[in-house]
Structure 1
Amino acid sequence: MTSTAQHPLNTDEPVDSLTDHEEEARDIVPDDMPSMLSVPTMRSRRVSVSAESIQPSSVSKQEYIVHPKTEDQRQRINAAIANNFLFKSLDDEQAGHVIDAMAEKRVSQDTVLIEQGAEGDFYYIVESGTFDCFIKHDSTSNKVTSYGPGGSFGELALMYNAPRAATIVATSDGVLWALDRITFRSILMDSTARKRRMYEQFLSEVPILRSLKTYERHKIADALEPIQFDDQQVVMREGDVGQNFYLIEDGEAIFYKTAEDGTQSEVNRSSKGDYFGELALLHDNPRAATVVAHGRLKCVTLGKKAFTRLLGPVMDILKRNSENYHAILREASKQD
Structure 2
Amino acid sequence: MADPSTADVQAELKEYLNSKNINSLFIQIVERLLIEKPDNPIGFIVEYLAKRYPDETRAAKVGHAITQRTGSLASNLTSASSRVESEEEQTDSEDDEYLDDIDLQPTTVPKKIVRRESVSAEQVGANTKQPELKIVPKSDEESTRIHEILRENLLFKHLDSQQTDQVKDAMFLVQHEPDDVVIREGDAGDNFYVIDEGTFDVYIKKEGVETKVKSLGPGESFGELALMYSTPRSATCKAVTKARLWALDRISFKIILQATTTARRKQHKSFLESVPTLEQLTEYEILTIADALVEDSYEDGDVICTQGEVGDAFYIIKKGSASVIQTDALGESQEIAHLDMGHYFGEVALIFAQPRGATVKAVGPLQLLSLDRRTFKRVMGSMETILKRNMKAYKRIAASNI
TM-score interval, normalised by the smaller of the two chains: 0.5 to 0.7
Q: Decide whether the 8 Å contact of 1:308 with 1:314 is kept in 2.
A: no
Specify which of 334, 340, 363 is matched with residue 294 of structure 1.
363
- What TM-score does the superposition give when structure 2 sets the normalisation length? 0.57
Structure 1 segment 11-26 matched on structure 2, within 5 A: none
- Does residue 65 of the first structure (1) align with residue 134 of the second (2)? yes
Q: Which shifted more, 239-248 or 161-170?
A: 239-248
2:67 aligns with: none
Where in structure 2 are there 5+ consecutive unaligned residues? 1-113, 327-331
Task: Please tell me the residue identity of whatever aligns with 1:331.
Answer: A
Task: Please tell me the residue identity of whatever aligns with 2:377.
Answer: T
Partners of 2:273 and 2:245 in 1: CA distance: 46
2:82 aligns with: none
Change (3 A) 1:240 1:137: closer
C-alpha deviation, 1:313, in angstroms = 5.7
Change (3 A) 1:318 1:80: closer
**Any idea what the Cα deviations from partners look like across 1:108-146, whole Å, max 9, x if unmatched?**
122222222211210111122222222234542222222
C-alpha deviation, 1:105, in angstroms = 0.9
- Does residue 80 of the first structure (1) align with residue 142 of the second (2)? no
Task: Please tell me the residue identity of whatever aligns with 2:193.
Answer: Y
Partners of 1:266 and 1:311 in 2: CA distance: 26
Partners of 2:309 and 2:150 in 1: CA distance: 37
- Does residue 146 of the first structure (1) align with residue 208 of the second (2)? no
Change (3 A) 1:249 1:316: closer
Q: Decide whether the 8 Å contact of 1:129 with 1:173 is kept in 2.
A: yes
Specify which of 50, 67, 70 is matched with residue 118 of structure 2.
50
The alignment of Structure 1 onto Structure 2 pairs a total of residues equal to 274
Task: Please tell me the residue identity of whatever aligns with 2:124.
Answer: I
Structure 1 segment 180-195 matched on structure 2, within 5 A: 180-195=249-264
1:331 aligns with: 393
Partners of 1:222 and 1:333 in 2: CA distance: 27
2:273 aligns with: 204
Partners of 1:165 and 1:284 in 2: CA distance: 46
Structure 1 segment 214-293 matched on structure 2, within 5 A: 214-235=283-304, 245-250=314-319, 252-254=320-322, 270-271=340-341, 274-277=342-345, 280=348, 292-293=361-362
Q: Whose Rg is larger? A: 2
Q: Decide whether the 8 Å contact of 1:257 with 1:288 is kept in 2.
A: no
- Does residue 91 of the first structure (1) align with residue 160 of the second (2)? yes
Task: Please tell me the residue identity of whatever aligns with 1:247.
Answer: I
SS in 1 for 2:138: coil
C-alpha deviation, 1:233, in angstroms = 3.0
Q: Decide whether the 8 Å contact of 1:56 with 1:190 is kept in 2.
A: no
Partners of 1:228 and 1:239 in 2: CA distance: 23
SS in 1 for 2:291: helix
Task: Please tell me the residue identity of whatever aligns with 1:133.
Answer: V
Where in structure 1 are there 5+ consecutive unaligned residues? 1-45, 58-62, 320-324
Specify which of 366, 371, 378 is matched with residue 309 of structure 1.
378
C-alpha deviation, 1:254, in angstroms = 4.8
Q: Decide whether the 8 Å contact of 1:124 with 1:176 is kept in 2.
A: yes
Change (3 A) 1:47 1:117: farther
Task: Please tell me the residue identity of whatever aligns with 1:302.
Answer: L
Partners of 1:47 and 1:306 in 2: CA distance: 30
C-alpha deviation, 1:275, in angstroms = 2.8
Q: Decide whether the 8 Å contact of 2:281 with 2:382 is kept in 1.
A: no
Q: CA RMSD in A?
A: 3.9
Partners of 1:241 and 1:123 in 2: CA distance: 39
Partners of 1:111 and 1:86 in 2: CA distance: 26
Change (3 A) 1:82 1:126: same
Change (3 A) 1:275 1:303: farther
Q: Greater helix share, 1 or 2?
A: 2
Change (3 A) 1:307 1:149: closer
- What TM-score does the superposition give when structure 1 sets the normalisation length? 0.66
SS in 2 for 1:157: helix
The percentage of counterpart residues that share the same residue type is: 37
Partners of 2:176 and 2:263 in 1: CA distance: 38
